[in-house]
């Protein structure tokens, strides 16, 4: 048990370092080829902070752990929404741009609703399953989201930011070791998470929703806290909303294309909470100071998630 816990901690560290190395290497490579900072932020950095979820879920899908996959995605999105925005909003109230209120937040809401409908086979009479066809639907939706992002980029004037020159050897070293860290860390987290769950009689669902979800969300947490301390609201909320969209449309689609995912209807409540939390975030833009997530609203997000986590763990022990 103690060894498994230590290996999970090592796995999380490998995931975090791996994601950072991958982002650093890929960013340097992109800048070397004169790609703008905005494009890097919306693509490479967004992918980098979601990379731990992608690796963990791909490994879980290959090994046939559907509850780990769903628990990680849904748990990570709820953690991003309730805990990260809750903490960040307490540090510094988050000012949100109109485009984020009327476009990105609704897109993340639609993604959560689509997940609920596909998982429950709302239009079919089949057993609950996220099939390869569902995966194709999600990946097409992700492609449409990227198309929207790049259309947004075209309307902005971007300048190339100077960067400290790195040799090709150093750049590719970051990229290669970054991927190695993600793969090794993902294996350690999934395998030892299952061992702990089995030995304690805890379900894979709870492990996925709590330990693994929190661990794979650490890159988003660290990025958003740093952004908040620098009073950069756009990065703080953009990182969370973007990650939630990536998790559902990209990571779940890849996982289901590797292997169809059996859906446990016990996740319905967790998805409904995700949908409700996203609606709350949207409504918060019109209460208190407009276009801002105030500290009292952040406190509500944080408090609700803590109560919810205690509830699902308590329910598991009954």
Question: Averaged over 153-165, what is the pLDDT?
Answer: 56
Tokens 């900072």 belong to 37
205, 267 contact by CB (below 8 A): yes
Domain CATH for 262? 1.20.1420.30
Residue 302 structural domain: 2-317
Chain centroid offset of residue 98 CA: 23
Question: For the chain, what is the domain count?
Answer: 1
Question: Averaged over 145-154, what is the pLDDT?
Answer: 78
- Does 191 have pLDDT greater than 70? yes
Q: Which of 56-60, 200-204, 279-283 has the lowest mean pLDDT?
A: 200-204
Per-residue pLDDT, 156: 54
pTM: 0.81
Q: What pLDDT, in 10s, does the model give residues 18-52?
A: 777 877 777 677 667 666 555 565 566 667 777 77
* Mean pLDDT value across the chain: 82
| H-helix segments, the chain | 2-32, 37-40, 46-63, 66-78, 85-91, 98-99, 105-119, 132-154, 168-200, 204-207, 213-216, 218-229, 233-246, 252-258, 268-284, 295-317
């Amino acid at each position: 048990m103690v060894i498994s816990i230590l290996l999970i901690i090592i796995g999380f560290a490998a995931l975090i370092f791996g994601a950072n190395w991958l982002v650093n290497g890929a960013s340097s490579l992109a800048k070397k080829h004169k790609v703008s900072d905005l494009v890097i932020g919306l693509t490479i950095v967004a992918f980098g902070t979601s990379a731990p979820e992608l690796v963990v879920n791909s490994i879980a899908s290959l090994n046939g752990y559907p509850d780990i996959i769903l628990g990680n995605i849904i748990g990570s999105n709820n953690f991003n929404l309730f805990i990260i925005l809750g903490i960040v909003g307490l540090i510094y109230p988050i000012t949100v741009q109109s485009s984020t209120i009327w476009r990105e937040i609704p897109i993340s809401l639609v993604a959560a609703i689509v997940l609920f409908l596909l998982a429950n086979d709302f239009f079919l009479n089949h057993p609950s399953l996220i099939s390869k066809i569902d995966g194709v639907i999600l990946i097409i939706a992700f492609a449409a989201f990227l198309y929207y992002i790049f259309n947004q980029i075209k309307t902005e004037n971007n300048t190339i930011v100077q960067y400290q020159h790195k040799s090709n050897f150093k750049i590719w070293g970051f990229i290669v070791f970054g991927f190695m860290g993600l793969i090794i860390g993902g294996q350690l987290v999934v395998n030892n998470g299952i061992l702990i769950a089995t030995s304690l009689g805890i379900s894979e669902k709870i492990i996925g929703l709590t330990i693994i979800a929190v661990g794979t969300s650490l890159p988003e947490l660290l990025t958003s806290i740093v952004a908040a301390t620098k009073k950069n609201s756009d990065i703080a909320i953009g990182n969370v909303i973007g990650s939630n969209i990536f998790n559902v449309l990209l990571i779940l689609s890849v996982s289901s294309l590797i292997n169809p995912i059996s859906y446990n209807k016990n996740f319905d409540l967790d998805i409904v909470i995700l949908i409700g939390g996203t609606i709350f975030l949207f409504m918060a833009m019109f209460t208190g100071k407009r276009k801002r997530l105030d500290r009292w609203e952040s406190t509500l997000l944080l408090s609700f998630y803590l109560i919810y986590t205690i509830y699902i763990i308590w329910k598991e022990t009954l």
